[in-house]
Structure 1
Amino acid sequence: MTVISDLTPAETRVWRAFPRGESVDFRAAGDEPPAPGDDWGAERTVRASVLRALLVKAPREEGEIAALALTGARITGALELRHAVIEAPVRLSDCHFDDIPDLYAAQLRELDLSRSVLPGLTSGALRVEGVVRMTGCRVRGPARLGGARISGALFLEGAEFSAPGASEPALQLNQMALGEDLWAPGLRVDGQLRLTGASVAGRVNLQDAELDNPGGIALDAQNLQVEAHVRARCVRVRGRVELRGSRIPGRLDLLHARLSHPGDTALRASSAVIGELWLRGGDRIEGTLSLRRSQIEILTVEPEMLPDQVYLGNLTYTVLAPHEPAARRLPMLDRDGDRYEPHAYEQLTAAYRHIGDDDAARLVQLAKQRRRRATLTWYGRLWGYVQDAAVGYGFRPLRAVAWLLSLLAVGSIAYGLEHPRPVKADEAPDFNPVFYTLDLLLPVIGFGQEQAFAPAGWHQWLSYALIITGWILATTVAAGVTRSISRQ
């Protein structure tokens, strides 16, 4: 095995341990924190060029499995492994890097940077046959993993990423392909987390994560493909969550989430395909919510979480949970600005009918007609008010009976107190104030009373009013029946 002649005592330990896969731990105590690290002395400092020589030249001992297993070291210089093919696992945990490692397009078996402190990371197009662990890492510059291909999982739990002063996202996982999970509970990102076009064969776990990019996009996950669930319970986001075009056949779990992007879109999941979307138990969303053109099998939304603006145009869903009265659900359909979206009302109606709540479905349809009325011309609105007052656009058929009985009582009392004179006294039937009033009210049915008697004075004006009211009532009832039949 070739040995570099100017190795320091610390580097000699690492060099001798590598061929046998032995761990080298420079920490004074097992629970020593990795920060700050820049004041660690020569006794725990290793040059990046030495690590590169170990990994690239790969010294071996017969019968042993080589591995770079280094803990608690300060690594000076840039670890340059661009396009390198590394056969040995790389485990650099609790280390402090003075310069940004360059792993662009490198091929590794395993990469472990747990609890290390880095000024940044360049590892786009990285290929890893196993897992990548960055548990508890602190990265103070852009971490570039775009286009990486990782056969196993990516572990980011408790990691912290920031890129102060940078014009690019703090954590870049765009176009990444993961063979297993993206495991990042407790993740902290000060800046943008980019996941555009990424594909995850397992789950995405962002529970208790904090994504902070106020005034911009905090999570850019457009066209994200996840084979299982996205767990983002108790996530706290300042900035936009962008999920446009994503495919999540499992559950998008946003229970107890806090989403804040005042004056702009807080959550956009438009043109997405989602098995279940859970928005429950969290604070009221600050900003707008857009689910336009998405397909969601089960939509679980608490009305208290919905913001002032909700865009639901062409959203389709099968089940809406939890079951709430129509009066609690209808306000979300009125928060799409001045736009009238009939499809949103039809979807809510279908959801109520799916669970057999026909009363709530009728209330939604009535609300739809009232919202549509505002888009009509003045005479259309006038006729709409008449239909609404008379029979509730056909959804309140008992109103017609109430109107009929009320007008019948008025006419019967008025004509019973003072009978109108007969047109032909010798041919007129006995006067009946009830059937005379019905003759005036019902434009089709005749009882022979209206033609036989001629009211005078104010009784004549009353008869005109009853005839006109009867025609209006009949027309509105016919329109309501027609609307009901068309729905069936």
Structure 2
Amino acid sequence: MEINDLTAAELRVWRAFPRGEFVDFRTVDDEDPATGAGWGPERTVRAAVLRSLLLNGPQEDGEIASLSLAGARITGMLDLQYATIDHPARLRHCYFDEVPRFYGCRLRELNLSESVLPGLTSHAVHVEGVLRMTRARFRGVVRLGGAQIAGSLYLEGAEISAPDAQDPALQLNQVTVGDDLWAPGLRVHGQIRLNGADVGGSVNLNEAQLSHLGHGPLDAETLSVGGHFLMRHARVQGWIGLRGARIAGRLDLAYSHLSNPGEAVLRASSSTIGELWLRKGPPMEGTLNLRRAQIEVLFLEPEMLPDRVLLNSLTYTSLTPHEPAERRIPMLERDGDGYVPHAYEQLTAAFQRIGDDHAARLVQLAKQRRHRGTLPWFGRLWGHVQDVTVGYGFRPLRAAGWLLSLLAVGSVAFALHHPRPLKADEAPPFNPVFYTLDLLLPVISFGQEPAFAPKDGYQVLAYVLVLTGWILATTVAAGLTRTISRQ
């Protein structure tokens, strides 16, 4: 491009480039670049001029050339497909008429902060430093699929709006970020796609506002994060997809409002997470899916749970904060898969690891009661008997209470009306207490029961005591067997 073809504004940029000087066309510091469509020729720069500078711009000995521009209206398409750019490109507070194209481009650094763009096409871009789009506003799709960014990707306070687009609004699938994906306060109307992305540092989406109701505003299947995934104080309308994700640190959803009524709100099945924090927020609206997930620390406050959860094959090492079993068990009863024995065993193990054996027994009792509902009528009947008598073996003192009560009833009844002896000259002296014990305890004999024969109603009482004794003995044996098998 000949220098004689440049406008006054373009000439200013051209002369500043070889010395790396900053060119600022703004009239005030807080100027809104969204009004850039009305900016005149005094601050308009053609994209072709910027392309020429970045590819073959003038050089000066002893100076470091760079493109550093603010407050300009950039007309035409900035097309740098497959180019190798050795100079930093900083286009801040600018207004782009057309979508810039960096497909397959290699850059030292790219800064589009505070700019307004109709979109961005940067598939497979390579950035040796950082890619900064702080508080940028995009009115179309941002395509960064397969990008390789050695440093950090900054999107804090950025806004991307592409609700009617067929493609995701922010495409970061298969992206590789060496450091952090830093995007607190990000606002996206559409979907963020992070499938297969690899972030060496942390992902920060604190205070983000994501909306794609009925769809997934955040689809991050098989995402790999070396640090934390932070979404504190976020507001998400639609589902969050983390199936098969690997998060070494903390997945923090504290204080966040997550809503997708009638469908899944968090899909984290088959994921591996260091810590999952669900706390201090309103109840989730939708279904929480943690099937087959592996979590070291599950920081879960019952108040944040939705009405439906999926916990089949979920494993966790620690469950905090410590809550009584009565507040944890309802989580298992909300499982959309029905009766899931594994979920009860996991909760039991969590209580046992902190030494709360009473809570562990309550969970096992709840498991047996839930299992009872899956049995045929005779199984349910026998289950009710075990529950009432000995609490399925988890409340053995209840059997002693039943035995003492029946012993008292039988002793009083037979003391008031002695049964007749079968052989008067051979019968031992009658003892109502030991006679009742002979009836109640099927494996112990005090010589009373075979020597005496009650009649009429007292014979019926004897039959009841014998039958009850056998039932208590059987349920106690079943409870002891269950306890021994658990140990």
TM-score normalised by length of structure 2: 0.99
Which residue of the partner structure matches residue 306 of structure 1? Answer: 305
C-alpha displacement at 1:6, in angstroms?
A: 1.1
What is the match of residue 426 of structure 1? 425
Alignment-derived partner of residue 65 in structure 1: 64
SS in 2 for 1:50: helix
In terms of mean alpha carbon deviation, does 372-381 or 101-110 score higher? 372-381
Deviations 1:334-379 (A, max 9, x none): 1123621000000000000010000000000000001111111111
* 1:330 alignment counterpart: 329
TM-score between the two structures when normalised by the length of structure 1:
0.99
Post-superposition Cα deviations, 1:9-66, rounded to whole Å, max 9, x if no partner, equal: 0000000111111110000022222122100000000000000011111321111111
CA distance in 2, matches of 1:460, 1:210: 77
Mean Cα deviation higher: 375-384 or 288-297: 375-384
Distance 1:422 1:393 in 2: 39
C-alpha separation in 1, matches of 2:268 and 2:324: 25
1:436 aligns with 2:403: no
Partner residue, 1:351: 350
Q: What's the counterpart of residue 467 of structure 1? A: 466
Q: Distance in 2 between matches of 1:162 and 1:476?
A: 65
**Distance (whole Å) between structure 2 residues aligned to residue 44 and residue 355 of structure 1:** 68
Alignment of 1:32-431 (within 5 A): 32-337=31-336, 339-431=338-430
Cα deviation digits, residues 435-457 of structure 1 (max 9, x gap): 00000000000000001101111
Deviations 1:255-293 (A, max 9, x none): 101000011001111100000000000011000000000
Partners of 2:336 and 2:32 in 1: how far apart? 52
* Contact kept in structure 2, 1:140 and 1:164, CA below 8 Å: no
The aligned amino acid for 2:109 is E
> Which residue number corresponds to residue 480 of structure 2?
481
Task: Give the whole-Å Cα distance in 1 for the aligned partners of 2:326 and 2:111.
Answer: 54
**What SS is found at the alignment partner of 1:351?**
helix
Distance in 2, matches of 1:284 and 1:339, equals 21
Question: What is aligned with 1:454?
Answer: 453
CA distance in structure 1 between the partners assigned to 2:163 and 2:475 by the alignment? 66
Distance 1:284 1:451 in 2: 65
Structure 1: gaps (5+ residues) = none
Task: Return the letter of the residue paired with 1:441.
Answer: L
CA positional deviation for 1:416: 0.4
Q: 2 CA distance for matches of 1:108 and 1:431?
A: 104
- Closer, same or farther in 2 for the Cα pair 1:290/1:338, shift >3 Å? closer
The aligned residue for residue 445 of structure 1 is 444
CA distance in 1 between counterparts of 2:30 and 2:255 reads 33
RMSD over aligned Cα atoms:
0.8
Q: Which amino acid aligns with 1:81?
A: L
Counterpart of 2:448, as a letter, is: Q
Take 1:252 and 1:166, find their aligned partners in 2: how far apart are those partners? 29
Counterpart residue number, 2:29: 30
TM-superposed deviation, 1:4: 3.3
Deviating runs (4+, > 4 A) in structure 1? none
- Which 10-residue stretch deviates more, 423-432 or 57-66? 57-66
SS of equivalent to 2:238: strand
Measured after TM superposition, the shift of residue 389 of structure 1 is 0.7
Once residues 428 and 58 of structure 2 are traced to their aligned partners in structure 1, the CA distance between those partners, rounded to angstroms, is 123
For residue 46 of structure 2, what is the amino acid of its counterpart? R
Letter paired with 1:144: R
Counterpart Cα distance in 1 of 2:260 and 2:456: 69
**Amino acid aligned to 2:335:** D
What stretches of structure 2 of length at least 5 have no aligned partner? none
CA distance in 2, matches of 1:37, 1:3: 27
Which residue identity lines up with residue 116 of structure 2 in the other structure?
V
